[in-house]
Amino acid sequence: NDYTDLLEPDPDPTTDFARMARFLTGTAIGLVLGGGGARGIAHVGMIQAMHEAGIPIDLIGGTSIGAFMGALWADELNVKGYVDRATHWCKKMTSFWRKLLDLTYPITSMFTGAAFNEMIEEALLDVQIED
């Protein structure tokens, strides 16, 4: 038994073959991320914890900030790159000047949302929902 342990490494659950096998056997793992503005940043830690625990993510979806964080993960699929991109995005979103320049007359909102949309486009570059 020790001999086979040396020659046969544990299968990597993140390969495309392993993912397809989980789909075919009905054991695919999906993750749905919720909304809630700033609380959505907690999704970064959740995805990082799942990766460290060896839990693969076969499907990802979300609403509001959860959809954005899910899109970042689907585009990156690398925990370090994902955390770096999310951190960079958060730092830019909390910029005082960005908030100041996005102010509007507060009938329905204090901000126009243009800066937010611009930051999402910048973070995802040329990626579209179809990708």
Domain membership flag for residue 63: yes
Domain membership flag for residue 131: no
Summarised one tens digit per residue, pLDDT across range 20-51 is 999 999 999 999 999 887 888 899 999 999 99
Cα atoms found within 13 Å of the Cα of residue 66, Cβ hemisphere only = 12
User: How many separate domains does the chain show?
Assistant: 1
Domain membership flag for residue 29: yes
Domain membership flag for residue 72: yes
Summarised one tens digit per residue, pLDDT across range 43-100 is 999 999 999 998 999 999 999 889 999 999 988 888 999 999 999 888 888 888 777 8
Range(s) of the domain holding residue 85: 2-124
pLDDT recorded at residue 70: 92
pLDDT recorded at residue 8: 66
pLDDT recorded at residue 3: 59
Domain membership flag for residue 108: yes
The residues with which 32 forms a beta bridge, in sequence order, are 61
